[in-house]
Chains A and B, each alone.
Chain A
Amino acid sequence: MNTLLLVIALLLAAAMLGAAWVSIRVHRVATAMLAAGLVSLFASVMFLLLAAPDVAMTEAAIGSGLTTFLFFFVLGRVRGGRDD
């Protein structure tokens, strides 16, 4: 693995930790869900750096796209559009 790619991977790992910390520390459900989507985004780029492009594509489509969309859709339906 290239040294530069290793540095990028370490940066992404630190960013994943930061986003996960935000996700468990924050009080609003919407922000926590956004932070979880961010963890998924970084995980997808990390998969790509670990030479697994098909896994990265699936993670990008399902984890970062569909899960975030579905969570906000359901959250909007459950609470009747009201924010807590």
Chain B
Amino acid sequence: MVEILIMLAAGITGAAFLLALGRFVLGPSRFDRVVAFDVLTVIAITFIVLAALLENRGIYLDAALVYALLSFLGVIAIARYLEGRF
């Protein structure tokens, strides 16, 4: 039962991943691509948690922790560059 629910969650997350990747590939302006990058980072965190659950290894969560801290830094750097304030 639980395995079926986790598989369903992984499938829905994969669909969201494909949609966000489509926005990254299509994206007319640079800002669209930055938003898609941000969303893809958050979806990657979800994938990491799913992988940790499926493999039953808690050490995988450390990578998710690094992402939760660092995605923010990348977006701030990009925004400052686009504003021309470096």
- Chain A residues packing against B (C-beta within 8 Å): 2, 4-5, 7-8, 11-12, 15, 18-19, 22, 28, 30-31, 34-35, 37-38, 41-42, 44-45, 48-49, 51, 53, 56-57, 60-61, 64-65, 68-69, 72-73, 75-77, 81-83
Q: Name B's interface SS.
A: helix
Cβ of B70 and Cβ of A64 under 8 Å apart? Answer: yes
What's the minimum C-beta distance from B38 to chain A, rounded to whole angstroms? 11
Q: Which residues of B contact A41 (CB under 8 A)?
A: 40-41, 44
Cβ contact of B59, chosen from A11, A19, A53, A77, cutoff 8 A = A53
Total interface residues on B, CB under 8 Å, equals 40
A interface footprint on B59-78 (CB within 8 Å = 1, 0 otherwise): 11011001100100110011
**B interface residues (Cβ-Cβ under 8 A, vs A):** 6-7, 10, 14, 17-18, 21, 24-25, 30, 33-34, 37, 40-41, 44, 47-48, 50-51, 54-55, 57, 59-60, 62-63, 66-67, 70, 73-74, 77-78, 80-82, 84-86
